[in-house]
Amino acid sequence: MFSEIAEKYNWDKIGDEINAKTKADVEHALHTPLLTMEDFKALVSPSAADYLEIMAKKSREATQKRFGKTIQFYIPLYLSNECSNHCIYCGFNHKNKISRITLNDKEILEEVKVIKKMGYEHILLLTGESPKHSGVDYLEHAMQLIRPYFKQITLEVQPMSTDEYKRLIVSGLHGVYMYQETYCKERYTLYHPAGKKKDYNWRINTPDRLGIAGVHKIGLGALLGLENWRIEAVFMAMHLRYLEKNYWKTKYSIAFPRIRPHVGGFMPNYMVDDKEFAQMIWAFRIFDNDLEMSLTTRENQKFRNHMVELGITSMSAGSKTDPGGYTTSDNELEQFTTNDNRNPNEMIQMIHNHGYDVIWKDWDACFEQKKN
């Protein structure tokens, strides 16, 4: 399990190793065909700040070579904002005084109807982490309900067991995003003081359970703003290399969420500016040419426009972060405030202006292994 690997590394020592990287180390990383973890540390180091233009160019070339000039579209559908955790940075925090809702069948299908009119074929289902309200039984039923309408179903929900993931694969599960939030074990409980999410090892070992279950795609991520982004990036890169070695049949993706305003008003401890954010994205692309990378509506229009050609492979558009958000306008229920509110047609036009095509579907249900 990856928790055993992570335990061998000291957070502050990794930070010192990153800061010690020189321009010569960066240049070596930019000219070697197969990057090591030491090369990755160089690419996310302060010394790489003078090489951002070169990194952007290499990221662009690598992405076009592997993925072509395309951006895949997906959309999130929030099924529930019930949550038993007390994450201090999240609008769904159990202590926050917001209205709680878990969509029923009728409400789910009403949301699906609106989403389908937009043209979406790939959907990401999200909930708060409440096994009581949105556990495996609820998720299995919801997936079976919407499966006829979409070619790909991905989840971003509470961690589950290997057997539960196997069960959901039968109902059409394609991929799972599991954000560690922060890899800093010493401060993890500060951000997650209560609830099941407080268990650092249970969460960090979720991708192992996903790999064992045979889930087609695993998504990783850290919430930018909690801890030092450079160290987070290195731990995430180590996690990625470990998973690719042990579960080599699986596809991998990384997302880069930055903290956005929400009910509760948590302020980031470590600000990540746009140049640093771009450096992180380009470092991952140079490190792993096959990696899918997504950029959500947390980011502003200017930044998302700029990143279309420079490494990102998927984007959402017209997103709502509250249950029932596509059929109502009750923002009290949302997890966070979106930053880019353009609808799909506006996003398509922007992407076409860059000379790129939008991909609505790159997977079909007929590819799924039949289960007896």
Q: Where are the domains of the chain?
A: 2-363
pTM of the model: 0.93
Q: What is the mean pLDDT of each run of 10 residues along the chain (372 residues)?
A: 97 98 98 96 98 98 97 95 89 82 96 96 94 95 97 96 98 96 96 94 98 98 95 98 97 89 65 95 98 93 95 94 84 64 95 96 63 41
- CA dist., res. 336 & res. 186, Å (int): 26
- Nearest one of 283, 227, 210 to 45, comparing CA atoms: 283
Phi first, then psi: give them for residue 258, nearest 5 degrees.
Answer: -105, 145
Q: Beta-carbon neighbour count of residue 61 at 10 Å?
A: 13
Q: What angle do CA 215, 113, 361 make, to 5 degrees?
A: 45
**What is the C-alpha R_g of the chain?**
20
Q: Which CATH number fits domain 2-363: 3.40.50.2300, 3.40.50.150, 3.30.70.2740, 3.20.20.70?
A: 3.20.20.70
What is the H or E stretch that residue 177 is in? strand 173-177
pLDDT at res. 372: 38
pLDDT at res. 314: 96
Please tell me the chain's helix, strand, coil percentages from 3-state DSSP, rounded to the nearest 5.
Answer: 45, 15, 40
- CA dist., res. 1 & res. 5, Å (int): 7
